[in-house]
Chains A and B, each alone.
Chain A
Amino acid sequence: MKRSGLVFGVMVVGIALLLWAGWHNLRERRLAMQQAQENHVVLVPEKAGPAAQTDSQSPEAEAMQMRGKVAPGFTLVTLDGKKVSLSDYKGRPVLVNFWATWCGPCKVEMPWFEEFRKQYAAQGLEILGLADDVDAGKDAIAKVAQKTGVTYPILLTDGKIQKAYGGPDGMDYLPMSFYVDKNGVIVEETAGLGSKDEIEAHIKKIVASGATTAAGGQ
């Protein structure tokens, strides 16, 4: 009787200790998480490699991870008022690039895109520049397009397309580029400014993918 009472007492104390430890751990964990959320800043890494620019561990990256998925379709209007759909380019490699007039890094790579568009024209490459710029007027967008020397279609976004490619809150940063192969699948997704070589390497991937279709796209 005495022994079982002693065992019971030890068990009660043990369970009490466990409960206390659990509560203590929970409190510590919450404090640690709170501190981490307050202090931790996820930057685009120093080496602007596109693969390194999306932190595959972050929830944001998970939400935005489009690689391997079929590119969401869209029909948008150009600065000239023409309707352009992604499906117009079925069977061709397409680089879908989100940019804005206030985004310095975006304007650096736009002339490179223009250069690659010409270089890979025979393989059917098309670049679509989607202006993620709600406040800028058409004139400002056209001015930047002209200044950067791009002749590929510049499309005005509608708010929905940013969510389709960037998640519920739209694009978290710019530039964002999606490399769509001839089968309409996003084979690469990059955030921030990469090097010209990296951009060309991604373009080569989508140009080499699937069956070649004659340029024209319509």
Chain B
Amino acid sequence: MTGLFAGLLIALPIGLAAQQVGNLDAPVVKPKSYVVYGADQQNVVAGKRSVVELHFRVLDGYHVNSHTPKSELLIPTRIELQPATGVKAEAVEYPTGTSYSFSFDPTEKLDVYTGTFTVRLPVVAEAGTHSVDGTLRYQACDHAACYPPKSLPVQVIFTAK
């Protein structure tokens, strides 16, 4: 009887460890999104024109077209925002991109965002906390392949005081 329990005491941890190793070795899932939105609480002056910033990060190894790519065939990065009560939003201001060429085609110059980029949203807001919903549309590539256009939901939360 004692031997049985002793066996159990030895076998169980081994089984648990084996299960753990097996799961940690399981393949990771490729991201379905290549751009991350960094939502952060911001404060603006109520009733005055202020700028709210939207911070994005393109995952390492990827790039997305800027808002003004150098070809009509390329899909620009753009934000579509929903109207929000108490907030008058002006046209979104996009950052300038950086020049990029694929190594296999150095003659074609692209205009892209890599790393972090910030989109500015000028607003005039009533006092209080506001939430503006929207979507970032972008199309990403890496050095050898391109990925279908994606939509990233964004929620801009800020307080006007």
Contacts and interface: CB of A to CB of B under 8 A. Distances in A.
Interface string B17-45: 10110011011111100000000000000
B102 A105 contact: yes
B99 to A, nearest CB: 14
Contact of A102 (B2, B28, B139): B139
Interface residues of A, number: 49
B105 A25 contact: no
25 contacts: A7-B2, A7-B5, A11-B5, A11-B9, A25-B16, A25-B17, A25-B20, A29-B23, A37-B29, A42-B30, A43-B62, A43-B142, A44-B143, A58-B28, A58-B29, A60-B30, A102-B73, A104-B110, A104-B141, A170-B148, A172-B148, A173-B145, A174-B145, A193-B104, A193-B145
Interface residues of B, number: 39
A18 B16 contact: yes
Contacts of A172: 30, 147-148
Interface in A1-56: 7, 11, 14, 18, 21-22, 25, 28-29, 32-33, 36-37, 40-44, 46, 48, 53, 55
Nearest to A194: B144
Nearest to A136: B73
B108 to A, nearest CB: 7
A80 interface: no
Given A58-B27, A173-B148, 18 more contacts: A18-B12, A25-B20, A37-B28, A37-B29, A41-B59, A42-B28, A43-B62, A43-B142, A44-B143, A57-B27, A102-B75, A104-B141, A105-B145, A132-B148, A135-B149, A140-B73, A173-B147, A175-B145
Chain B interface main SS type: loop
A97 to B, nearest CB: 13
B60 interface: yes
A199 to B, nearest CB: 13
B28 A36 contact: yes
A144 interface: yes
Contacts of A106: 146
Most chain A beta-carbon contacts within 10 A, residue among B23, B27, B144, B146: B144
A191 B145 contact: yes
A92 B17 CA distance: 52
